[in-house]
Amino acid sequence: MTRSLTVNVDTFPIAGEFRISRESRTEATVVVAEITDGEHRGRGEGTPYARYAESVAGVVADIEAMAEKIAAGLDRQTLLRDMPAGAARNALDCALFDLEAKTSGTRAFEAAGLAGLEPVTTAYTLSLGEPDAMRAAAEAAADRPLLKVKLGGVGDVARIKAVRAGAPNARLIVDANEAWSRDTFFDAITACADAGVELVEQPLPADRDGLLATVRHPVPVCADESVHVASEMEALTARYDAVNIKLDKAGGLTEAILMLEEADRLGLKVMVGCMLASSLAMAPAVLLAQKASVVDLDGPLLLAKDREPALRYEGSLLYPPEPELWG
């Protein structure tokens, strides 16, 4: 059957405000690629990210430019070769994965080499703010087992102490989103160690993270903005202890599986992360989460309204997707 491609843009309001070191947002805008053969439908969701020079219009255009190849039977391996990594390729790759599952009558996790899927515990993100506000947010989320704390550079020592005071029993990871510098690094990471933080995500700018190769890490450090695809990972081993695999950075589940395999070969721990997006974007990442040390797939928990059907969350416990959603 001839396949056809459609592209839609969806916007979801965020519950309150989501703030990190370089931006503040009140809504999440995503791009959905849908591929149909006339009988079956596969969908994938990508989130354009300005940090990587992406825009909604640009991602839509990049997806639409693949319409003829999709109609001619483009497969996932050829897609890896024909498109660069990013949100556009992610939407298409996940749509193809979904379509394959629907047409074959099997589940996507089988194509990914998994025997099955189990529920996973996800981190829950606390947005960047003043220490008192972050302590209050930590107190409100203190019953969650794992909190991810957004930091912003100057003032982070006080923020870390405030969050730990607000959630004394929760496991903590932090994400600086490239906001630390050589001047703030040592005090901040020492404060993280003192607070029992388990992982520090991307403390330094991606183009200025060489310091990590020359100093001891009292807390393991995870690469996010510094790594996108599997071929970049070996160069990271002197600087980082872990990598954050995100489908939008990798350009889809197919590349992300390669990253998972490469991390295992290199002895790097794996964190599976996400952009602010709906359950459709999280669903393929649940496959990766089966083999991750840290799971951060709380995007839908931060939205005021998710799409339907949606993933099932019970507190911080995330259940595998049903076929009606994806895979």
The set of catalytic residues is 150, 246
Helices 131-140/156-166 angle, 10° precision: 30
User: Taking a C-beta distance cutoff of 8 angstroms, is the pair 83, 66 a contact?
Assistant: yes
- Transcribe 144-202 into DSSP letters: SSEEEEE--STTHHHHHHHHHHH-TTSEEEEE-TT---HHHHHHHHHHHHHTT---EE-
- Per DSSP, the three-state class of 277 is coil
Instruction: List, edge to edge, every strand of the sheet that includes 317-318.
Output: 120-121, 317-318, 313-314
- Other C-beta atoms closer than 10 Å to the C-beta of 198 total 14
201, two tokens: 């995500």
187, two tokens: 């005090």
Distance between CA atoms of residues 171 and 196, nearest Å: 8
User: Taking a C-beta distance cutoff of 8 angstroms, is the pair 277, 305 a contact?
Assistant: no
The Cα diameter of the chain in Å comes to: 61
50, two tokens: 């300005």
User: CB neighbours of 326 closer than 8 A, spacing ≥ 6?
Assistant: 43, 44, 94, 98, 108, 280, 283, 284
Alpha-helix residue ranges (DSSP H) falling in 172-323: 182-194, 247-250, 253-266, 279-289
Phi-psi domain of 155 (left: phi exceeds 0; alpha: psi -120 through 50; beta: other) = left
